[in-house]
């Protein structure tokens, strides 16, 4: 028996409407065979299909995120709330997907990858930055990234342009220091 996994997305503000969540849910249902929960973290659940588990974007004890400061809306920074140590009742392996992607093949192989943080490669970068439109992790395993961000803000974001540089560099450095290698798909 295959363990239950999570598929997580996040919707905030007005850039993407509920139809993006509903279409993503439909694509996941067609392309993921293993048992799963499909969860959307959002600040506005109106119009989201009843087959989607909807939960508020969590408060993380970082005023920049909790008060939705303007910079936190840009470049996907609010995705980092998915790294909260306790994310409602979610447990285990989780595939995070952006709302504006198209799924054309099986998602099951993502859950077969070994590693604490698996991220697709950013197609136009050569420095190891991942594209966080798609990543696999275990709920709670990277709460230290969120803690580092908030405890050393704003210095913690000075060397990066966006959240995908922040999280992939943080997780790569963490993996390198513990295993001598980093994870990337």
Q: What b/e sequence results for 36-46 when a residue is b if at least 16 CB atoms lie within 10 Å of its CB, and e otherwise? A: bbbbbbbeeee
Spatial separation of the C-alpha atoms in residues 61 and 167, rounded to whole Å: 18
pTM: 0.92
- The pLDDT value given to residue 169: 87
Q: What is the pLDDT of residues 41-79, one digit of tens each?
A: 999 999 999 999 999 999 999 999 999 898 888 778 999
Which tokens sit at 52? 């989607």
- Give the mean pLDDT of the chain: 91
Q: What is the pLDDT of residues 93-107, one digit of tens each?
A: 999 999 999 999 999
3-state secondary structure of 146: helix
Q: For the chain, where are the E strands, in sequence order? A: 5-11, 36-42, 53-56, 93-97, 117-121, 130-138
Beta bridge partners of 37: 6
Domains and CATH numbers, the chain: 5-179 (3.90.550.10)
């Amino acid at each position: 028996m295959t363990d239950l996994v999570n598929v997580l997305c996040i919707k905030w503000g007005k850039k993407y409407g509920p139809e993006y969540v509903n279409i993503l849910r439909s694509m996941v249902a067609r392309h993921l065979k293993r048992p799963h929960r499909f969860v959307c973290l959002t600040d506005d659940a109106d119009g989201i299909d009843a087959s989607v588990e909807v939960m508020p974007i969590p408060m993380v004890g970082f005023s920049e995120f909790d008060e939705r400061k303007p910079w936190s809306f840009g470049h996907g920074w609010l995705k980092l709330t998915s790294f909260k140590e306790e994310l409602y009742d979610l447990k285990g392996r989780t595939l995070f997907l952006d709302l504006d992607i198209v799924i054309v093949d099986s998602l099951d192989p993502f859950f077969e990858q070994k590693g604490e943080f698996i991220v697709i490669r950013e197609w136009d970068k050569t420095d190891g930055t991942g594209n966080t439109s798609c990543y696999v992790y275990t709920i709670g395993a990277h709460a230290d990234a969120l803690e580092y961000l908030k405890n050393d803000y704003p210095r913690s974001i000075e060397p990066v342009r966006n959240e995908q540089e922040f999280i992939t560099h943080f997780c790569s450095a963490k993996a390198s220091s513990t295993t001598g290698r980093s994870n990337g798909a």
